[in-house]
Amino acid sequence: MIATVFLVVICLQVITCEEYVVPQNIDIDEIIKSDRLMRNYLDCVLGKGRCTPEGEELKKDIPEALQNECAKCNQKHKDGIKKVLRHLINNKPTWWEEVQVKFDPTGEYKKKYTDFLEKEGLSR
């Protein structure tokens, strides 16, 4: 009985989690430095390739994060997002275009986040 109650409590904590679950051992800088790793993650989130567990979680969370202005993101998530966006926009514009086609085909989010992109020096 105690085990059942414990399991229910754990499940409720997971269901009501207010932040996205991202492993703390993800090194964004190492991923960005490697075209192979970056491309693997990109192919995963675009539905073109296999996913690591982290990539699968990322793919699942991107649409919601775009819709709710990353409401469940902590500061580490936001810093990582900025770093990846800056890298894609400045260094891999064709890859950035693929991301936009997949997640923002109508340009809705580009309009929504114009101020953010300009503030970060990422508007094009």
What would the mean pLDDT of 9-24 be, rounded to a whole number?
48
DSSP three-state, residue 69: coil
Q: How far, in whole angstroms, is CA 31 from its chain's centroid?
A: 13
Give all domains of the chain, ordered by start, each with its CATH number: 2-119 (1.10.2080.10)
Q: Residue count of the chain, please give it.
A: 124
| d(C-alpha 110, C-alpha 76), whole Å | 22
Q: Given this model, what pLDDT does residue 58 score?
A: 87
Q: What is the pLDDT of residues 55-113, one digit of tens each?
A: 898 888 888 888 888 888 888 888 888 899 999 999 999 999 999 999 999 999 888 88
CA distance 79 to 70: 12
Confidence of residue 43 (pLDDT cuts 50, 70, 90): very high
The span from the CA of 51 to the CA of 69, in Å, is: 24
